[in-house]
Structure 1
Amino acid sequence: MSTANLLRLFLLAAIWGGSFLFMRIAAPVLGPAVLIEYRVVFASLFLLAVALLMKKPLDLRQNWKHYLVLGFFNSALPFLLYAYAARTLSASVMAVLNATAPIWGAVIGAVWHRQMVSARVMLGLVMGTGGVALLVGFDHASSREGAGLAIAAALFAAFNYGIASTYAKSAKAVEPFANAHGSMWAATLLVLPSLAFFPQPGQPTVGIMGAALALGVLCSGVAYLLYYRLIRDVGPTSALTVTFLSPLFGILLGTLFLNEVVGWYTILGSAIVIVGTALVTGFKPGFGWLRKSASA
């Protein structure tokens, strides 16, 4: 991995870790539905501008059903669930719960293909479950009213990412940028009905709207560009390492900007979840990218 791609990887991890910070700031004021409608609209408009600049077509007539499925499971529903959870849970806890997405993907894939999981994957599943239990069991946010439902919502959001990844593997091949662009417009339509169920509870300030804008343009639009660039340059396996890095940034940003408490259970629970995810995904750390970077 070149130095440039290594920097892109860390930047992407910081951006996706920061998404939980922005949701924690804006969700209590805007509500989950209004916040996520802003997020997907801002992301769609940003990606539309990039598409026009790069002359990348969507082929809506051929791919609209595909965009709807991807937009629902990979954006609309998980975004709404995390925004709902953000009214109660800390950014740190949500960032770690999000790291379970590859674990859910492995479980869903095994059920979908009717295959038994290996002993390594089973160990990873047990570790991931144990890490989550440790984290939410000791975190003070778990004692707040509605925390149980918020935790369930965050885990279900990660579960939907697992569905999306399983679907994407079996779906027809669509250009990665078109997937990002088309699914954002689909999510914009899919989130609209939820506005009737989650009215805006407060009056937004400039800072709140800035957080919503950052969620859309930075954490969705720019993040997708970085992610698909990494997949193109270094492959999906190396790009997957962002899963292990983003919780670290989520915890760091939550501590720095929201004064969230990081206890021993946060560090230990996060480490267990990350190791469990590595076992499930078959990730094997190595230093080959260092040698490639030196010659790049």
Structure 2
Amino acid sequence: MTPADTARLLLLGAMWGASYLFMRLGAGEFGALPLAALRAALAALPMLAWLAASGQLDALRRHWKPIALIGLANSALPYACFGYAAQSLEAGLASIFAAATPLMSALLAWAWLDERPGTRRLAGLVIGLLGVIALAWQHAGARDGSEGTQLALAIGACLLAPLAYAFAGCLAQRRLQAVPPLAAATGGQLAAAVTLALPAAWTWPAQAPSAGAWASAAALALACTAFAYPLFFGLIHRAGQARAATVTLLIPLFALAWGALFLGERIQPDWLLGGALILGGTALALRAARPAPAAGCDARHHAPQRA
């Protein structure tokens, strides 16, 4: 990987890590569904313009049905889940749970497509899932009453989002092999915006969100989505899928740093221990992942879908 590609990888990790910061700043005032709808809608506009400029609108028109279906799983549901979790969980902690996406991909491929993992990948799964369980228990299982329930639901939302990413990735490999990535990504944002529009209007906050909340929503949509996707596609083209997928390991590090720097979040020792297990298992699963057949799932393919 060239120094320029390394810089792009770090920038991508920083932006996707910042998405947890912006969700934390915006979700409290907007709520989960309005913030998710804004993110998708504001991201879709520049991506649609770029798609038109690149002459790929026809691909979106021809494949809009599978693109829309996968967009619901890859954008609408995760955005809503992370927005919900951001109202209870610190930005850094949420990013650690979300790093389990490659683990979810491997589990789903095993259960759905009968792709039995090899020894090394299985070891990564076990290590990573032990980290998820330990961290979830420390923050929710050990709490009583409504606080424990609220944290458990937030953690569950953080884990449902990676499962949705994994499902979307498996489905995409079956249905979108011939579709340009930009057309699929743009169509996914459009589908998410349309799907979330009515729920967002129904749950729109009675009190007008502040300028800071609007700025967070705009940064989440434009920098962390509309700009980050093209950056990631370019990185894949120049450095390859496997190298680009290592951004998964950088995202929680940046999210922890942004949360501590801008939100005053105190990094807990159990975050570091649980995060080390999750990221270590993820790294092992990614390293052991083999190129998948057209109908299968490859953990490296899904790894970048973070937030």
TM-score normalised over the length of structure 2: 0.87
2:254 is the alignment partner of 1:252: no
Once residues 265 and 178 of structure 2 are traced to their aligned partners in structure 1, the CA distance between those partners, rounded to angstroms, is: 42
Once residues 171 and 182 of structure 2 are traced to their aligned partners in structure 1, the CA distance between those partners, rounded to angstroms, is: 17
The answer (yes or no) to whether the contact 1:58–1:182 under 8 Å persists in 2 is no
- 1:58 positional shift: 4.3
- 1:139 positional shift: 4.5
Once residues 19 and 283 of structure 1 are traced to their aligned partners in structure 2, the CA distance between those partners, rounded to angstroms, is: 28
2:215 is the alignment partner of 1:210: yes
- 1:141 positional shift: 11
- 1:283 positional shift: 5.4
The answer (yes or no) to whether the contact 2:232–2:244 under 8 Å persists in 1 is yes
Aligned amino acid, residue 40 of structure 2: V
Matched residue of 1:174: which SS?
A: coil
**Paired residue for 1:236?**
241
- 1:117 positional shift: 2.3
2:188 is the alignment partner of 1:183: yes
The answer (yes or no) to whether the contact 1:32–1:80 under 8 Å persists in 2 is yes
Aligned amino acid, residue 279 of structure 1: L
CA RMSD of aligned residues (A): 2.0
Q: What count of residue pairs does the alignment treat as equivalent?
A: 284
Once residues 178 and 140 of structure 1 are traced to their aligned partners in structure 2, the CA distance between those partners, rounded to angstroms, is: 40
- 1:265 positional shift: 1.1
- What stretches of structure 1 move > 6 A for 4+ residues in a row? none
2:75 is the alignment partner of 1:75: yes
Percent identity reads: 35
Matched residue of 2:266: which SS?
A: coil
2:173 is the alignment partner of 1:156: no
The answer (yes or no) to whether the contact 2:82–2:158 under 8 Å persists in 1 is yes
Alignment map for 1:61-210 (pairs within 5 Å): 61-139=61-139, 143=143, 144=147, 146-171=150-175, 172-195=177-200, 198-200=203-205, 202-210=207-215
The answer (yes or no) to whether the contact 2:139–2:151 under 8 Å persists in 1 is no
Aligned amino acid, residue 249 of structure 1: F
Once residues 224 and 149 of structure 1 are traced to their aligned partners in structure 2, the CA distance between those partners, rounded to angstroms, is: 29
The answer (yes or no) to whether the contact 1:89–1:142 under 8 Å persists in 2 is no
Aligned amino acid, residue 10 of structure 1: L
**Paired residue for 1:267?**
272
Aligned amino acid, residue 170 of structure 1: R
Cα deviation code 1:167-203 (max 9, x no counterpart): 1222232111111111111111121242266342642
- 1:230 positional shift: 1.1
Matched residue of 1:131: which SS?
A: helix
